[in-house]
Amino acid sequence: AQKITQTQPGMFVQEKEAVTLDCTYDTSDPSYGLFWYKQPSSGEMIFLIYQGSYDQQNATEGRYSLNFQKARKSANLVISASQLGDSAMYFCAMREYGNKLVFGAGTILRVKS
């Protein structure tokens, strides 16, 4: 079974609008962490946001927020006020049973002007 599922291979969003990138996960570890990374065409992996399994509130970092629904095992990334520079591949990842990350397949986001 997939540990991290990103069901949207590609997404389009109009500049200045909000977009939600989906991520569901599967784990039996009660203590886990969820991460979102951005990978532009240049290839570097950029950390965006983190949500701990015991966190009561949804994480936010600037224009990024994480819609964490623990019972549904989902951790969707919301990008508000999209910018052209947001065009990239986005990966959801989970840390469980230690520190290694398990990644989803990624979602390619394209922001249209």
Cα 76–chain centre separation? 6
Give me the least distance between CB of 29 and another protein, in Å please. Answer: 15
Binding marks (x or -) toward another protein, 32..71, rule CB under 8 A? -x-x-x-----xxxxx--x-x-------------------
User: Half-sphere exposure of 102 toward its Cβ, with a 13 Å CA cutoff?
Assistant: 18
Which one among 23, 65, 104, 109 touches another protein, defined by CB under 8 A?
A: 104
Number of helices and strands in the chain (H, E)? 0, 12
Structure token digits, residue 103: 């990644």
- The residues that touch another protein, with contacts defined as CB under 8 A, are 33, 35, 37, 43-47, 50, 52, 91, 93, 98-106
